[in-house]
Amino acid sequence: MTMFTEDQARAIVAKVVAMSKADDCTATLSGSITGNARFALNNLTTSGIVENTSLEVESAFGKRLGTATVNAFDDAALERTVRRAEELARLAPENPEYLPVGKQTYVVTQTFSPPTAAITPDYRAKVAADSIAACKAANLTAAGYLEDAPTAMARRASSAPPCSTIPAPRARPTATARAGWRATCRTRPASMRPPMCT
């Protein structure tokens, strides 16, 4: 499942809030595509990509809250999720600390890095190979892990009045991209080295 565009995300959270019969409803759509590569004993051992998109609906009746989550986005699935959150809210005890979202002012952030978001399995394999080569050249054994993930989130709350600083009232998508890399080079006695590392 791929992440939604900004327009698609805005449409989904707006539709969910419009379906609600609760005093307050907050819809949060989150998505990520996480890639990784792991290497050990001077060899690439695993590589993978995990794509995840989910919608969380929080409904409130007074100070009673219910939350339901779904990863299907057709109208019937959205409706079931809204009703489930409302059902759970009616059953829940009051939460004395609950406050509706209210008016928000959002600052546009520059947390999305297109080059980081564009990291491919080939790039992760090259980073692993370069790390392994540097360790092998020094008669060391390499192990490491590389992970990258572009993420996105859109949230809309029924209790938040329209805010003029937001292009679409009461909805603000955000996107980030991050990458992390860890590697270790270790000495190993020749008797402990597996045949593939000699």
Q: Rounded to an integer, what distance in angstroms lies between the CA atom of residue 86 and that of residue 91?
A: 9
Instruction: Provide the whole-model pTM.
Output: 0.76
When mean pLDDT is compared across 36-40, 43-47, 98-102, 184-188, the lowest value belongs to 184-188
CATH 3.40.50.1100 assigned to domain 6-38+48-114+151-174? The reply is no
pLDDT of the residue at 19: 96
Cβ within 8 Å of residue 97, ≥6 positions away: none
Q: Across residues 164-169, what is the average pLDDT?
A: 32
Domain ranges of the chain: 6-38+48-114+151-174
Q: Rounded to an integer, what distance in angstroms lies between the CA atom of residue 34 and that of residue 147?
A: 7
For residue range 93-130, list pLDDT tens digits in order: 999 998 877 666 667 677 778 888 889 999 999 999 99
Give the pair of three-digit tokens for residue 188.
């190993």
pLDDT of the residue at 106: 65
Q: Examine the pLDDT at 66 and tell me if it is beyond 80.
A: yes
Q: Rounded to an integer, what distance in angstroms lies between the CA atom of residue 46 and that of residue 73?
A: 31
Give the pair of three-digit tokens for residue 32.
């990520």
